[in-house]
Chains A and B, each alone.
Chain A
Amino acid sequence: MNRDEVEILLVEDNPDDVELALHALKKGNLANKIEVARDGEEALDFLFCRGAHGRRSFESPPKVVLLDLKLPKIEGLEVLRALKSDPRTKSIPIVVMTSSKEQRDLVEGYQLGVNSYIQKPVDFDQFREIVGKLGFYWLVINQCPPKDAFIPKPG
Chain B
Amino acid sequence: MQPRHSIRLKLRRILLLTSVAVLFLAVATLVTYEIFAFRRSHLEVVSSVAQVLADNATSSLSFDDQNDAAKVLSTLRSEKTVRLAVLYDANGKIFAYYPASTQRSMLPANPSPDRAKSQDGLLIVVKPVKEQTRFGTLYLESDLTPLYARLQVYGAIVLVVLGCSVLLAFLLSLWAQKRITAPILALAEVASAVSERKDYSVRAQKETDDEIGSLTEAFNEMLMQISVRDAALQQSSENLRQAHAELERRVESRTAELAESNRELEAFTYSVSHDLRAPLRHINAYAQMLEEEYAKTLNAEAQKYLARIRAGAKNMGMLVDDLLNLARIGRQELTFQTVPLNQLLDDLLGDMKQETAARTIDWRIEDLGSAQCDPGLIKQVFANLLSNAIKYTRPRSVATIWVGRKEEKGQTIYFVRDNGVGFNVKYAAKLFGVFQRLHRAEDFEGTGVGLATVERIIRKHGGRIWAEAELDKGATFYFTLGHRKF
Contacts and interface: CB of A to CB of B under 8 A. Distances in A.
Interface of A: 14, 16-17, 20, 23, 69-70, 98-102, 120-125, 127
Q: Counting chain B CB atoms within 10 Å of each CB, which of A120, A122, A127 scores highest?
A: A122
Nearest to B316: A122
Contacts of A16: 278-279, 282, 285-286
B313 interface: yes
Given A16-B279, A122-B317, A124-B288, 17 more contacts: A16-B278, A23-B285, A70-B274, A98-B274, A99-B273, A99-B274, A100-B274, A101-B324, A121-B281, A122-B277, A122-B280, A122-B284, A123-B284, A124-B287, A124-B289, A125-B288, A127-B281
Given A122-B314, A123-B314, A102 B270 contact: yes
B321 interface: yes
Q: Counting chain A CB atoms within 10 Å of each CB, which of B273, B279, B314 scores highest?
A: B273
Interface in B366-419: none
Interface in B260-290: 270, 273-275, 277-282, 284-289
Contact of A120 (B279, B281, B289): B281
Nearest to B315: A122
26 contacts: A14-B278, A16-B278, A16-B279, A17-B278, A17-B281, A20-B285, A23-B289, A69-B274, A99-B273, A99-B274, A99-B278, A100-B270, A100-B274, A101-B273, A101-B324, A102-B270, A102-B273, A102-B274, A121-B281, A122-B280, A122-B281, A124-B284, A124-B285, A124-B287, A124-B289, A127-B281
B445 to A, nearest CB: 15
Contact of B285 (A98, A99, A127): A127
Q: Counting chain A CB atoms within 10 Å of each CB, which of B281, B284, B289 scores highest?
A: B281
Interface of B is mostly: helix
Contacts, number: 56
Q: Counting chain B CB atoms within 10 Å of each CB, which of A16, A99, A102, A120 scores highest?
A: A99
Contact of B313 (A17, A70, A101, A122): A122
Counting contact residues on chain B (CB < 8 A from A), the size range is: 20 to 34
Q: Counting chain A CB atoms within 10 Å of each CB, which of B282, B287, B289 scores highest?
A: B282
Contact of A17 (B282, B287, B314, B321): B282
Contacts of A124: 281, 284-285, 287-289
Contacts of A120: 277-278, 281
Nearest to A70: B274
A38 to B, nearest CB: 15
Interface in B9-60: none
Contact of B321 (A20, A69, A101, A123): A101
Top 3 closest A-B pairs, CB basis? A122-B317, A124-B285, A124-B288
Contacts of B314: 122-123
Contacts of B270: 100, 102
Interface string B287-319: 111000000000000000000000001100100
A20 B275 CA distance: 16
B282 A20 contact: yes
B7 to A, nearest CB: 82
A69 B282 CA distance: 17
A123 B278 CA distance: 11
A116 to B, nearest CB: 19
Contacts of B289: 23, 124
A49 B184 CA distance: 102
A122 B282 CA distance: 8
A120 B324 CA distance: 16
